[in-house]
């Protein structure tokens, strides 16, 4: 060790892959766990705007689910981003899933779970057969599928037949999906005129900003998550970061990283603030107070118009 300074614990831009640096989202994690362990698991659609933390949530769940469930051997959870080039065809999708399953330790330790993945060609039929075999072994595959949206760019590959097949596996309790997308799945169904019942029964989890406690946890990293460490930012720096980033996970990470960097480089805080403003502009603020106030205003105006109409009608009747 050359320095006693803590290294920068802030990551802005990519999903959080170090579970020790992941903050909050307790309710969402509990909900996914409870669906997974239910008698009839219901698949989950995690929806939210850009950089709100969908990928981080899915990845963190995949990393930690074994500590959350009573019998971890009964589940095999994998994480797969459908943005990968391989997932542009239906067979490519099944093969990518099979590869992730193959590398899972629970699968590696059980030949009965490895064998059905060896089938060649690994297509829809082979995938269904493999999932059936997992069911017979009492194992539930939980596929955390990130970036589901790009799938719809290939309608010739991912049509009603593909979705109906997934739906029947989900319905018979053979498979559970946790899918992240910018819009709800039924939005894509309408847009792409799909008829499959796949889009019907999902539990939607809308991801918003962090809670107050989680935002505090973030700005006091790594002390808040790693025992025996100290916060990377001073109290004053933490206050600045909270002022700039509010409770938005990405904006907080961005601000914290820049404030930390400014100190390391001996830069003024105004430099960090200017850099922050530049980067933050690329992220649309989630629907917050402003739009809800607009909604409220629209309702009040609508109500007033209705009321004046009623008064006018009553007055003309009286006249």
Ligand X SMILES: Nc1ncnc2c1ncn2[C@@H]1O[C@H](COP(=O)(O)OP(=O)(O)OP(=O)(O)O)[C@@H](O)[C@H]1O
- 272 to 28, 239, 275, 276: CA distances (angstroms): 32, 14, 5, 6
- What is the C-alpha separation between 130 and 97, in angstroms, rounded? 11
* CB of 194 or CB of 218, closer to ligand X: 218
| Per CB under 6 A, 286 contacts ligand X | no
Q: What minimum distance in Å lies between the beta carbon of 53 and ligand X?
A: 3
Two tokens at 137?
């072994």
Give me Rg for the CA atoms of the chain: 24
Q: Are 210 and 218 in contact (CB under 8 A)?
A: yes
Among Mg ion, ligand X, none, the one that 24 touches (CB under a kind-dependent 5 to 8 A) is ligand X
Q: What minimum distance in Å lies between the beta carbon of 108 and ligand X?
A: 28
Which residue in the set 11, 101, 177, 194 belongs to the binding site for ligand X (CB under 6 A)?
Answer: 11
| Per CB under 6 A, 12 contacts ligand X | yes
* CB of 55 or CB of 238, closer to Mg ion: 55
- What is the C-alpha separation between 55 and 206, in angstroms, rounded? 13
HSE-CB at 140 with a 13 A cutoff on CA atoms is 28
From the list 27-35, 50-58, 62-70, 219-227, the region that binds Mg ion by CB under 5 A is: 50-58
Q: What minimum distance in Å lies between the beta carbon of 12 and ligand X?
A: 4
* CB of 52 or CB of 101, closer to ligand X: 52
Q: Are 258 and 275 in contact (CB under 8 A)?
A: yes
Beta strands in 116-231 (DSSP E): 140-146, 176-181, 203-206
Residues 24-43 that bind ligand X (CB under 6 A): 24-25
Q: What minimum distance in Å lies between the beta carbon of 13 and ligand X?
A: 5
Looking at the chain, how many residues does it have?
319
CA dihedral (151, 184, 175, 139) in degrees, to 10, reads 110
Strands ordered across the beta sheet of 44-47 = 75-81, 140-146, 176-181, 44-47, 203-206
Binding mask 47-86 for ligand X (x = CB under 6 A): -x-xxxxxxx------------------------------
Beta strands in 103-154 (DSSP E): 140-146
| Per CB under 6 A, 16 contacts ligand X | yes
| Per CB under 5 A, 253 contacts Mg ion | no
Residues 6+ apart with CB under 8 A from 147: 55, 81, 82, 83, 180, 181
Binding mask 101-140 for Mg ion (x = CB under 5 A): ----------------------------------------
Give the interface size with ligand X as a residue count (CB under 6 A).
22
Q: What minimum distance in Å lies between the beta carbon of 149 and ligand X?
A: 9
* CB of 11 or CB of 87, closer to ligand X: 11
Two tokens at 239?
């206050």
Residues 188-247 that bind ligand X (CB under 6 A): 218
Query: Which of 293, 263, 281 lies closest to 50, judged by CA?
Result: 281
From the list 16-24, 48-56, 254-262, 297-305, the region that binds Mg ion by CB under 5 A is: 48-56
Backbone angles phi, psi at 143, to 5 degrees: -95, 115
| Per CB under 5 A, 55 contacts Mg ion | yes
Q: Which residues bind ligand X (CB under 6 A)?
A: 11-16, 22-25, 48, 50-56, 218, 249-250, 253
Q: Which residues bind Mg ion (CB under 5 A)?
A: 55
């Amino acid at each position: 060790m050359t320095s006693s300074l803590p290294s920068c614990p802030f990551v802005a831009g990519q999903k959080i892959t170090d579970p020790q640096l992941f903050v909050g989202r307790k309710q969402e994690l509990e909900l996914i766990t409870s669906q997974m362990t239910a008698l009839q698991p219901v698949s989950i659609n995690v929806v939210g705007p850009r950089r709100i933390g969908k990928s981080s949530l899915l990845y963190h769940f995949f990393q930690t689910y074994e500590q959350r469930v009573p019998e971890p051997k009964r589940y095999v959870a994998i994480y797969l981003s459908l943005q990968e080039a391989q997932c542009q065809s239906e067979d490519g999708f099944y093969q990518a899933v099979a590869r992730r399953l193959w590398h899972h330790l629970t699968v590696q330790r059980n030949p009965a779970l490895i064998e059905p993945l060896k089938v060649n060609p690994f297509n829809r039929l082979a995938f269904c057969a493999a999932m059936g075999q997992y069911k017979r072994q009492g194992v539930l595959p939980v596929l955390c599928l990130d970036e589901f949206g790009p799938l719809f760019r290939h309608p010739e590959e991912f049509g009603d037949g593909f979705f109906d097949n997934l739906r029947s596996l989900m319905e018979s309790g053979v498979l559970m999906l946790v899918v992240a997308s910018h819009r709800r799945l039924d939005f894509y169904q309408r847009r792409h005129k799909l008829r499959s019942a796949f889009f019907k029964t999902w539990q939607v989890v809308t991801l918003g900003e962090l809670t107050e406690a989680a935002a505090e946890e973030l700005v006091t990293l790594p002390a808040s998550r790693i025992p025996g460490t100290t916060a990377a930012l001073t109290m004053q720096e933490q206050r600045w970061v909270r002022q700039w980033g509010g409770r938005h996970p990405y904006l907080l990470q961005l601000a914290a990283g820049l404030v930390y960097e400014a100190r390391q480089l001996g830069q003024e805080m105004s430099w960090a603030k200017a850099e922050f403003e530049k980067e933050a502009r690329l992220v649309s603020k989630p629907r917050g107070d402003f739009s809800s106030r607009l909604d409220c205003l629209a309702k009040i105006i609508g109500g007033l118009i209705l009321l004046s109409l009623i008064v006018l009608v009553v007055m003309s009747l009286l006249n």
